[in-house]
Amino acid sequence: MPQSTALDPTGRASALAALAGTATGDAVLDVLVVGGGIVGTGAALDAVTRGLSVGLLEQRDLASGTSSRSSKLVHGGLRYLEMFDFALVREALQERGLLLTRLAPHLVRPVAFLYPLHRTIERPYVGAGLALYDALAMAGKYDMGVPKHRHLFRRQIARIAPDLRTDAMTGAIRYYDCQVDDARLVVNLARTAAGYGAQVATRTRVTGFLREGERVVGVRATDLETGAELEVRARVVVNAAGVWTDEVQHLLGGELALDVEASKGIHLVVPRDRIRSEYGLVARTEKSVLFVIPWGRHWIIGTTDTAWDLDLAHPAASRTDIDYLLEHVNKLLTVPLDHDDVEGVYAGLRPLLAGKPGRGVGSAGEGEARSSTTKVSREHTVASPVPGLVLIAGGKLTTYRIMARDAIDLAVRDRHDVAPSHTERVPLLGAVGFEVRTNQRVALSRRSGLDVAHIDHLLGRYGGMIDELLDLVEQRPELGEPLPGAEDYLCAEVVYAVSHEGARHLDDVLARRTRISIETFDRGTVAVFAAADLMAGELGWDRARRDDEVDHYLRRVEAERQSQQKLTDQEADEARVSAPDIV
């Protein structure tokens, strides 16, 4: 990587200056990506590693939408086996193995689930499906490290999951998928892309498109932190805005090439000791699939699947949503959970394609709709409704790399000087050196003065970049202390989030660079003060600015708590949007 991977405040300013410089026509980008989620950052990495000049604009923070609010699973999609879509499952399982073994072994790890069986006839049926699931994974090149399924009976379940009700069960099947901290995956993608030369600018909103005749030649944008307007010119603009896809398309006017609808999924976080089990759980409900997922010293319980047409930036979980999950998980448990057991709640929106791609976006001079060049898969669609614009929507976290590849393939389809995608051979930042550093964990503990548990924690979040954190602690020993109010994290991680990971506000640190906002009963309202002091020192905040940031975060938490007491989506949304964004 010829350039720095640090997404620091100076780097953001430099990126904005470089992007604004494209307006003169002397430095037009090959590809400009709109959207800083998993697909957008994946597309930026795919394009820049092909030798293209690349920019990325995100209106809020990296992964601030869907890509920080998923079930945090990297999986093949068991439900597609019932649809006989074996090719799709195999593709997703290959991506799972690739992430686990090559691209992000520091972030992705196997996780075991129990699939409860309630009728004798289910065992051969479900067992055959999971045998096929394992076989499709083994058919790929990257299946190392994921154990195969195993049949269990009630006596075994009582031993390994004593809080699971076995009275209505005939047994269970244990199988494995993988999990990832979704927001950290996005940040590492963005930093890796920056290391190859991509210009990454957050808190920058696209407000319109630049056109030359029928062709899109760039965008108009606003730096939300200064109010400065800029124009960014590019040969192709790739819209990877997720649930904001329709809004971006409306900037062109006319028909929508892709009709994207938002589906809300919520998750609860409860302490690990509330459910005694060595493994996670997965079960069907009448509306969705219920997951109980191990997450460090916590469980993540999800998810719902309901239509959402209210605020896209801050989807709200209602009390009805929470009650639904508690009701269904309690059907599996001997000791029921209640609202007092819930540490955190988060809601995310899935961008679902409402129908087939339309004929075009915008209006032709003679009033005729233009044709659309489109690539459709079961999970995602890529379209080029007008010259110079590519749209990508749908899909899931596991196959982000395939989506990114398809989008860039379409963006450069008329160019013969661009190499094919090769991101399957590009490890993300932190992957290199992870195994070596893991083998040195005890030595790292002795050298740094941190206990081995904290070293393991850092390895699981930063991988081979752990030396950068330890260097911070060596230079400033006070940063080796646990963050007051969130002792699972070190003070150094707050500073590093600002100096290397593009964090600009308390929300960025407490909700995405760390998971303090959902992993503590107080939702981070204790840790916020120490975090604000650390960030103020890095970003040059004065006392008034520091207090504004704290006040905003506290208002955000209170608005979320209020929304989670409301019975309807409308009431929950009104409560949540009462705390506006600080930018």
Among 36, 28, 21, CA closest to 204: 36
One-letter amino acid for residue 69 of the chain: R
Judge whether 3 lies within some domain.
no
Report pLDDT for 284: 85
Q: What's the confidence (pLDDT) of residue 357? A: 39
CATH number of the domain where residue 221 is located = 3.50.50.60
Helix, strand, coil percent content, the chain, rounded in steps of 5? 40, 25, 35
CATH (domain of 302): 3.30.9.10
Residue with tokens 């997951």: 291
Write out 324-367 in H/E/C secondary structure: HHHHHHHCCECCCCCHHHCCEEEEEEEEEECCCCCCCCECCCCC
Within a domain: 157: yes
Last residue of a domain, one of 323, 353, 383: 353
* Pairwise CA distance, residues 361 & 289, whole Å: 36
For residue 310, what are its two tokens? 């209210």
Please report which residue ranges of 76-121 form alpha helices under DSSP H: 79-82, 86-98
Same domain, 139 and 287: yes
Residue 417: inside a domain, yes or no?
yes
24 and 164 in a single domain? The answer is: no
The string of DSSP codes covering 523-546 is TTTTHHHHHHHHHHHHHT--HHHH
Token look-up 């791609």 returns 357
Residue 558 located in a structural domain: yes
| One domain, residues 377 and 509 | no
CATH number of 481's domain: 1.10.8
Q: Is 100 part of a structural domain of the chain?
A: no
Tokens 């909700």 correspond to 511
Identify the H or E element spanning 472: helix 466-475
Alpha-carbon distance 538 to 175, whole Å? 45
Instruction: Give the number of C-alpha atoms closer than 13 A to the C-alpha of residue 145, restricted to the C-beta side.
Output: 19
Mark whether 245 and 271 lie in a shared domain.
no
Q: Is the CB of residue 201 less than 8 Å from the CB of residue 16?
A: yes
| Residue 523 within a domain | yes
Res 336: pLDDT: 96
Q: Which is it for strands 199-201 and 54-57: parallel, antiparallel or unpaired?
A: parallel
Beta strands in 444-534 (DSSP E): 482-483, 486-490
CB within 8 Å of 408: residues ≥ 6 apart: 31, 43, 46, 47, 50, 52, 238, 421
**Tokens standing for 105?**
């072994």
**What is the domain extent for residue 278?**
107-179+261-353
Token duo for residue 9:
């405040």
Distance CA 319, CA 564 (A): 5
Q: Which residues contact 265 (CB under 8 A, 6 or more apart)?
A: 69, 70, 71, 288, 302, 303, 304, 305, 347, 348, 349, 350
Count of residues making up the chain = 583
pLDDT tens digits, 487-518:
999 999 999 999 999 999 999 999 999 999 99
Other beta carbons within 10 angstroms of residue 84's beta carbon come to 9
342, 335, 305: which is closest to 321 by C-alpha?
305
C-alpha dist (Å) from residue 73 to 77, 107, 377, 399: 10, 11, 21, 11
| Best CA proximity match to 394, nearest among 37, 56, 32 | 37
The reply to whether 408 falls in a domain is: yes
Q: Are residues 152 and 24 in the same domain?
A: no
Judge whether 381 lies within some domain: yes
Q: What is the β-pairing status of strands 199-201 and 108-117?
A: unpaired
- Quote the CA–CA distance of 223 and 512 in Å, as a whole number: 21
CA dist 397 and 403 (Å) reads: 10
Which residues lie closer than 8 Å to 554 by C-beta, 6 or more apart? Answer: 525, 528
CB 177 within 8 A of CB 111: yes
Instruction: Quote the pLDDT of residue 273.
Output: 96
Residues 544 and 438 in one domain: yes
Please say which residue of 299, 323, 353 terminates a domain: 353
Q: Based on the domain organization, do 210 and 222 belong to the same domain?
A: yes
Distance CA 347, CA 266 (A): 4
Last residue of a domain, which of 331, 353, 375?
Answer: 353
> For residues 465 and 21, is the Cβ–Cβ distance under 8 A?
no
Contact 542, 292 (CB under 8 A): no
Same domain, 235 and 373: yes
Give the angle subtended at the CA of 261 by the CAs of 255 and 266, to the nearest 5°.
Answer: 160
Q: Are residues 135 and 162 in the same domain?
A: yes
Same domain, yes or no: 250 and 395: yes
- Residues 108, 99: contact at Cβ < 8 Å? yes
Which pLDDT value is given to residue 376? 46
- How are beta strands 344-353 and 260-271 bridged, if at all? antiparallel
Residues 30 and 35: their CA atoms lie apart, in Å, by: 16
The confidence score (pLDDT) of residue 25 equals 67
Greatest CA separation for the chain: 73
- How many separate domains does the chain show? 3
> Could you tell me which residues are beta bridge partners of residue 346?
267
The reply to whether 122 and 245 lie within a common domain is no
Looking at the fold, whether 473 and 536 belong to one and the same domain comes out as yes
Parts of the chain with a pLDDT under 70: 25, 143-144, 254-255, 355-378, 583
400 vs 428: CA distance, rounded Å? 14
